[in-house]
Amino acid sequence: MYIELNHPWLTGLNIKTILDIGAHTGKWAYTVHKLFKGARIYSFEPILESFEALKQRMSDIANHQAFNVALGDHSGEIEFHVCKFATSSSILPMTQLHKTAFPYSDGSTSIKVQITRLDDIVEKLEIEHNILIKIDVQGYEDKVIDGGEQTIKRAKVVIMEMSFQRLYENQPLFSDIYDKMIYLGFDYMGNLAQTINPFDGSILQEDAIFISKS
């Protein structure tokens, strides 16, 4: 996920709450903290090793809270594929396209992680408008949205990694997620960055920007 975010259109939104879904080791969370120092940041990361690194990176930031959990459309326990290249880890198995385009990410082990719905966990948190939501969940975007519709509707801006080609089995593509976000009351406003297939130059993913119409 692109982390150079010091743009006037974003910093001028008076963001007070940040939901960092798919936090990894906290590079993105630390970046947005510097931009919105007064905002509360809630990070969600299912891989324990990454979660511990996240907590260490953000340990001096009083308004940050981290949760060692995956987000989706149900609560319970789920199988999670931890890749050698940790940021490629996902609930979904990797496709051959992913392995070919990024061979350093091939190879994974399966673990069990806790999963819950965004709407359920947000009920217990202190949430203040305006809300920025970042979603970087390696093909599980539709399930995060399905389990967090009410929370997402409250957001001012959503920045989400979305794919044009399937890098994970059965993952939704850009058009699927676009339709969901338009239905929830957002306008698509372009992207912050794109990921290119190094072999043929085709666009694989982008970090899409959605702004609430309300």
Which residues, 6+ apart, have CB-to-CB distance to 116 below 8 Å?
Answer: 69, 70, 71, 72, 75, 147
Range name among 105-109, 112-116, 202-206 with the lowest pLDDT average: 105-109
- The average confidence (pLDDT) of the chain is 97
**Phi, psi angle pair for 175, to nearest 5°:** -60, -35
Model confidence at 191, pLDDT cuts 50, 70, 90, reads very high
Higher pLDDT, 55 or 5: 55
Model confidence at 149, pLDDT cuts 50, 70, 90, reads very high
Range name among 2-6, 129-133, 185-189, 191-195 with the lowest pLDDT average: 2-6
Flag whether pLDDT at 144 surpasses 90.
Answer: yes
Range name among 62-66, 95-99, 106-110 with the lowest pLDDT average: 106-110
Mean pLDDT (whole number) for 57-61: 97
Flag whether pLDDT at 42 surpasses 90.
Answer: yes
Domains of the chain: residue spans and CATH: 8-212 (3.40.50.150)
Flag whether pLDDT at 15 surpasses 90.
Answer: yes
Flag whether pLDDT at 212 surpasses 90.
Answer: yes
Mean pLDDT (whole number) for 51-76: 98
Flag whether pLDDT at 2 surpasses 90.
Answer: no
Mean pLDDT (whole number) for 145-170: 98
Flag whether pLDDT at 170 surpasses 90.
Answer: yes
In terms of Cα–Cα distance, which of 140, 127, 132, 39 is closest to 89?
Answer: 140
pLDDT in tens, 65-89: 999 999 999 999 999 999 989 999 9
Interatomic CA distance for residues 197 and 203, integer angstroms: 6
pLDDT at 84: 87
Flag whether pLDDT at 187 surpasses 90.
Answer: yes
Flag whether pLDDT at 206 surpasses 90.
Answer: yes
